[in-house]
């Protein structure tokens, strides 16, 4: 089966940098997604890592290490609107996507 | 930017009643999905649909559930006899290239079963 672990909650200050970690266990691996979900809204796509390394997209970057079963989402220059849940989502290739429980990030002034 | 649209945004129904949740996926997408999210819990896969048939379904998607693509644009989820535990947010999603491409989610239908 597949298993995803990510912290339940994090708090960070406006303008700061925050790193949200995700570890996973799986028998197969195609890639790892990160989605953002504001309370009461739909998840929206942030990034998709297939190969090891860091992918940067504006203020958001995502890192993957397949050998360690580890990914992180890095958010820079935090803004209040970044307060949301961040979902680590595993594409194992042989089952439907598996969503983590999400990390609820609170950005404070 | 094209969007996935879902109706209604809220649905309240009595236990045992049938409900139909409607979705219009992005027009050039070929893969369609239903997910649900019980309040405070994680997003759970229900069913995927491709080439006019179900490609995968989860244990949640039992005989009470069905999906249909009645025309070239709509994609519906029917729950035949709702139970209290069916209360959740139901998200429709579509993608253009299966599991290796991002899912585009609709804004969801909040279903409350009383």
Tokens of B39: 């309040």
Interface test with chain B among A43, A45, A89, by most B beta carbons within 10 Å: A43
Partners of A31 on chain B (C-beta within 8 Å) are 100
E strands, chain B, in order: 5-7, 10-13, 19-24, 31-37, 44-50, 53-57, 65-68, 75-79, 88-95, 104-105, 109-113
Q: What is the pLDDT of residue A95?
A: 80
Distance from C-alpha of A65 to C-alpha of A52, rounded to nearest angstrom:
5
Q: Measure in Å the smallest separation between the Cα of B108 and chain A Cα atoms.
A: 7
First to last CA, chain A: 41
Partners of A97 on chain B (C-beta within 8 Å) are 45, 99, 103
Distance from C-alpha of A82 to C-alpha of A72, rounded to nearest angstrom:
16
Residue pair B16/B81 in contact (Cβ under 8 Å)? The answer is yes
**How many CB pairs below 8 Å do chains A and B form together?**
45
Q: Measure in Å the smallest separation between the Cα of A101 and chain B Cα atoms.
A: 5
Chain B residue whose CA is closest to A95: B56
Per-residue tens of pLDDT for chain B, all 114 residues: 779 999 999 999 999 999 999 999 999 999 999 999 999 999 999 999 999 999 999 999 999 999 999 888 899 999 999 999 999 999 999 999 888 899 999 999 999 999
User: Any idea what DSSP says for residue A69?
Assistant: T
**B54-70 residue pLDDT tens:** 999 999 999 999 999 98
């Amino acid at each position: 089966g597949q298993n995803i672990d990510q912290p339940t909650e994090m708090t960070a200050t406006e303008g700061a940098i925050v790193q949200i970690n995700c570890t996973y266990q799986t028998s197969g691996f195609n890639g790892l997604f990160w989605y953002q979900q504001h309370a009461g809204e739909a998840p929206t796509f942030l990034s998709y890592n297939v190969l090891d390394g860091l992918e940067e997209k504006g203020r958001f970057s995502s890192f993957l290490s397949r050998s360690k079963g580890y990914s992180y989402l890095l958010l820079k220059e935090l803004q209040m609107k970044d307060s949301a849940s961040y979902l680590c989502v595993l594409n194992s290739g042989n089952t439907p996507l598996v969503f983590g429980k999400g990390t609820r990030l609170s950005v404070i002034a | 930017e094209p969007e996935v649209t879902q109706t209604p945004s809220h649905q309240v129904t009595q236990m045992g009643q049938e409900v139909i949740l409607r979705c219009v996926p992005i027009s050039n997408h070929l893969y369609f999905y239903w997910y649900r999210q019980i309040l405070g819990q994680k997003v759970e896969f229900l069913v995927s649909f491709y080439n006019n048939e179900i490609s995968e379904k989860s244990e949640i998607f039992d005989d009470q559930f069905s999906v249909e693509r009645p025309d070239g644009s709509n994609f519906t989820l029917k729950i035949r006899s709702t139970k209290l535990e069916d209360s959740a947010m139901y998200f429709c999603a579509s993608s253009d290239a299966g599991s290796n491409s991002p899912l585009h989610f609709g804004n969801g239908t909040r279903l409350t079963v009383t």
